[in-house]
Amino acid sequence: MNKLFKKWIMYLILFIMPSSCGNILEDTANKNSDAAILYQARMYLSHGDWSNAITEFNSLTAATLAQTDVKIDLASAYSGRCGLDFITISLNLQNFNPVSSQFFAMVLPSVVTTTNTSVDCVTSETILKTIATNGVVNDPVGQFLMAFNSLAKISAILNYYADVDDNGTVDAAWDACGAGGLADLPNADLNEIVTGFFLFIHNIAGLAVGV
């Protein structure tokens, strides 16, 4: 296991745990207080209940939502609902050979979906861009999330169009270079693939510094 992969695992542990642990001695008797709402949102987040987590986060006051750790938590909930699976993507990256492997073939099975869930990854990306400079998030956990969210976004798009039977491989009838392939994707989705690749490269490069 190389050092970069170990670093990804470390960030994974940080991501699975809420970005900021709530103090169990806090007064949460007032269910409408930001403290109580944030605690509940992070509980939903830790259990993978993405939709309820998003609802709770979005009911916070603007001041609380403006906090960096809260933005990262909200973005992670949208990433989760998009289909982001850290373990699957981490293993795919670990086994990726830039010489003999195809990047899109590696990314495609990372998100299995019958609908185009990339809209949630786009929302996550939009939130993270508010704490980023030139697309690179100004926080190591957020930077990690941006990199992996970008791959999940690409995967969600490719899976929707190129893997209709959701078996993790490109459908025989789908030709990336032919009719209905990448060139014929809706412009919006094609743009998201391009921006996703850009954001992945730039944020993962930042994480690799010092490895």
Per-residue pLDDT of the chain (211 residues; tens, 9 = 90+): 455 555 555 555 545 455 444 444 444 556 789 999 999 999 999 999 999 999 999 999 999 999 999 999 999 999 999 988 776 666 666 665 554 455 555 565 556 566 778 999 999 999 999 999 999 999 999 999 999 899 889 888 888 776 665 656 665 566 556 555 665 678 888 889 889 989 989 998 877 654 4
Which stretch of DSSP H or E encloses residue 132? strand 132-133
Contact present, 158 and 104 (Cβ < 8 Å): yes
Chain centre to alpha carbon of residue 163: 20
Going by their DSSP bridges, the two strands 136-137 and 132-133 should be labelled as antiparallel
- In angstroms, the CA 153 to CA 62 distance is 27
pLDDT at 25: 44
Q: What stretches of 117-186 show up as alpha helix (H) in DSSP?
A: 118-129, 140-162
**End-to-end distance of the chain based on CA atoms, in angstroms?**
13
Whether the model clears a pTM of 0.85, i.e. scores above it, the answer is no
* Token pair recorded at residue 207: 């994480």
CA-based nearest residue to 152, from 195, 199, 89: 89
pLDDT at 210: 43
* Token pair recorded at residue 192: 């998201």
pLDDT at 185: 72
pLDDT at 85: 78
Nearest-Å Rg of the Cα atoms of the chain is 18
